[in-house]
Structure 1
Amino acid sequence: MITKGLCLSAVMALSINFGFSQESKKQQDIKSIKSMCGCYEVKFNFAETFQYSKDSVNYKPSKTKHDYGLEWVELVEDTPNKIMLQHLLIVSDKMIIKHWRQDWLYENTDLYSFFKDNTWKFNKLAKKDVKGQWTQKVYQVDDSPRYEGTATWVHVDGKDYWANTTDAPLPRREHTKRDDYNVLKRRNIQEITATGWNHEQDNDKLIRDNNGKDVLLAQEKGLDVYTKVADSKCLAAQNWWTANKAVWKNVRDKWDTVFAADKDLTLKNDVDKKPLYSFLFDLKPDAKKAESDAIIDNFVVKQ
């Protein structure tokens, strides 16, 4: 765990005092974010650390998880105030899975914060509260929302990291196995390293009621280690993205329309017993936008 004794606003002030303008600081941030692109061997590690269940006899903690993957991180969008990174998981040269996506927005004021039960609350932040910050918006494999948070990138003592705490749905590794909690409070640290980058987590497994009251059920530690390898090892994913990027742009454009409503969002868990990703993964690369639009419309609960 990185010690964060120096508050982030003080870090910003120190940067300016030492001759780093806000613009040069922003360029450092952009360099760190874009350095997460490329081909990576990834080790996924999670362990439940503490349990607080009142039923200690019957409570079943999650098993310690160690997994491995090869991922290509594609730079999809690169503008001064928005950077989009799409993760592609390589199972084999002939099997590529569109994985999660992370968007980085500079001084963003619009957040969809996860509440519970497939519902996200829209929040409008004050500009002064996000000055110099980057919002990380994380999306599911079907580009539906997952979690979002805003914080300052920190570049001190040879370290480059971004740290934030936010609420999220159950992780993919648990949502089909656990139903005894409904919110994961994620303490995320994404740190750039000499060999790639790390995603470190200290998470709370929460039971949240309809009034937003939380009960802590358990805690876990996570460490995903991304080690940079030659881009040629991820050639299959690069080719897959070239063939499929048009249909997924249609999907993102539809979601942008949904998010632009700037109001709370609730999604159905399934339609005709199929989850959203299953419908979208079945689309052909040349599928029309109207087809993907209709699929997403079927999952958005009308307010």
Structure 2
Amino acid sequence: MKNLKQRVTVALLFAAFLGHAQGNKKKQDIDAIKSMCGCYEVEFNFAETFKTTKDENYKPSPTKYDKGLEWVELVEDQPNKIVMQHLLIVGDTMIVKHWRQDWEFENTRLYDFFKDTSWKYKTLSKADVKGQWTQRVFQVDDSPRYEGTATWVHVDGTSYWRNYTDAPLPRREHTIRNDYNVLNRRNEHEITKFGWIHNQDNKKIKRDDAGKDVVLAQEKGLDIYTKVADSKCVAAHKYWKENKAMWKNVRDKWQTIFDRNKDLNLEEKVNRKSLFGYLFDLKGDTPKAETDKIIDSFIKN
């Protein structure tokens, strides 16, 4: 009986130690994610690296380099979910609602991008996502882009998260190309002493209705976020204060659509106008019924 009590005591102590270690790890994860908030000078760099198609008429995209000032707003901060909105500042006063990233702990529900404007719903087991964070990335109109799950790694004084996932064409490509319809992304976020880096190694893929892929080329992406004083992003603060209620209504509407837990197919345009074109024309006090109606018009199923 004495030996049994000792074994039980040791097991309880080990479980407590393990729980404490897991709690510390999760706190490290959260600190890394939230450290991406704030005001940043950003360098955007993209260049094709290898041509893999045999089509001799294939023309690579031009190398892209751009700079900007971006505010990353902490919109939602819960123990298992963190929402961050990127706001691009153009010419000191003009604000462009940019992409959004959500992080959810041990999430089992995913929308996998298929091609064009369609996503496939899938579920994972709890064992598959233990200790992992799902990153969801959304378009400027809060419609889906891509998402994936992976483990944050903290080693040698750095923190990073890496995932492989399919995504739609980025806007810089969407306006100039139609010869591929999937961008497979090696998507990595690394926290640095000066800010953070969004590092990508991408494949440009032509996918048919049966899911057969032809890789046309590979691409390198490197977005460097350098932390600067928050005072440089005052214009973004003002914009978000005036418009956050409307964009919450938009997020809430999309969430009801995602909660259907089924494949999603969207219209690219309605009456020759994109969804972001409709939403960007609205004022911050636009009622939810109006934004709901606009979003519903883009849902095929």
Report if TM-score (shorter chain) is over 0.5: yes
Question: Does residue 97 of structure 1 match 2:92?
Answer: no
The corresponding residue for 1:193 is 192
Equivalent-residue separation in structure 1 for 2:33 and 2:51 (angstroms): 35
The corresponding residue for 2:39 is 39
Equivalent-residue separation in structure 2 for 1:18 and 1:121 (angstroms): 36
Q: Residue deviations 1:217-244, cap 9 Å, x none? A: 0000110000000000000001110000
Q: Shift in Å at residue 59 of structure 1?
A: 1.4
The one-letter code matched in structure 2 to 1:205 is K
The corresponding residue for 1:106 is 105
The one-letter code matched in structure 2 to 1:201 is Q
- 5+ residue gaps, structure 1, are 1-15
The corresponding residue for 1:265 is 264
Equivalent-residue separation in structure 2 for 1:247 and 1:234 (angstroms): 21
The one-letter code matched in structure 1 to 2:22 is Q
- Percent identity over the alignment? 69
Map of 1:114-129 to 2, 5 A cutoff? Answer: 114-129=113-128
Equivalent-residue separation in structure 2 for 1:93 and 1:185 (angstroms): 34
Higher radius of gyration, 1 or 2: 2
Equivalent-residue separation in structure 2 for 1:235 and 1:24 (angstroms): 34
Q: Shift in Å at residue 93 of structure 1?
A: 3.5
Equivalent-residue separation in structure 2 for 1:151 and 1:93 (angstroms): 36
The corresponding residue for 1:142 is 141
TM-score by length of 1: 0.92
The corresponding residue for 2:214 is 215
Q: Shift in Å at residue 213 of structure 1?
A: 1.1
Q: Residue deviations 1:106-164, cap 9 Å, x none? A: 00001001001200000111011000000000000000000000000000111200000
Equivalent-residue separation in structure 2 for 1:264 and 1:67 (angstroms): 35
The corresponding residue for 2:29 is 29
Q: Residue deviations 1:11-64, cap 9 Å, x none? A: xxxxx99996111100000000000000000000011000122222x2110011
Q: Shift in Å at residue 79 of structure 1?
A: 0.4
The corresponding residue for 1:52 is 52
Equivalent-residue separation in structure 2 for 1:160 and 1:20 (angstroms): 20
Equivalent-residue separation in structure 2 for 1:174 and 1:181 (angstroms): 10
SS in 2 for 1:212: coil
Map of 1:165-180 to 2, 5 A cutoff? Answer: 165-180=164-179
SS in 2 for 1:280: helix
Q: How many residues end up aligned between the 2 structures?
A: 286
The corresponding residue for 1:279 is 278
Q: Which runs of 4+ in 1 moved over 2 A?
A: 16-20
Q: Residue deviations 1:186-236, cap 9 Å, x none? A: 001100000000000000001111111111100001100000000000000
The one-letter code matched in structure 2 to 1:278 is G
SS in 2 for 1:187: strand
Equivalent-residue separation in structure 2 for 1:205 and 1:120 (angstroms): 18
Equivalent-residue separation in structure 1 for 2:20 and 2:125 (angstroms): 25
Equivalent-residue separation in structure 1 for 2:260 and 2:58 (angstroms): 41
Equivalent-residue separation in structure 1 for 2:28 and 2:54 (angstroms): 47
Would the alpha carbon gap of residues 17 and 156 (structure 1) be closer, same or farther in structure 2, given more than 3 Å must change? Answer: farther
Equivalent-residue separation in structure 2 for 1:292 and 1:150 (angstroms): 30
Map of 1:156-171 to 2, 5 A cutoff? Answer: 156-171=155-170
Equivalent-residue separation in structure 2 for 1:202 and 1:194 (angstroms): 23
Map of 1:281-300 to 2, 5 A cutoff? Answer: 281-300=280-299
TM-score by length of 2: 0.93
Question: Does residue 250 of structure 1 match 2:249?
Answer: yes
- 5+ residue gaps, structure 2, are 1-15
The one-letter code matched in structure 2 to 1:41 is E
CA RMSD of aligned residues (A): 1.4
The one-letter code matched in structure 2 to 1:295 is I
SS in 1 for 2:171: coil
Would the alpha carbon gap of residues 108 and 18 (structure 1) be closer, same or farther in structure 2, given more than 3 Å must change? Answer: closer
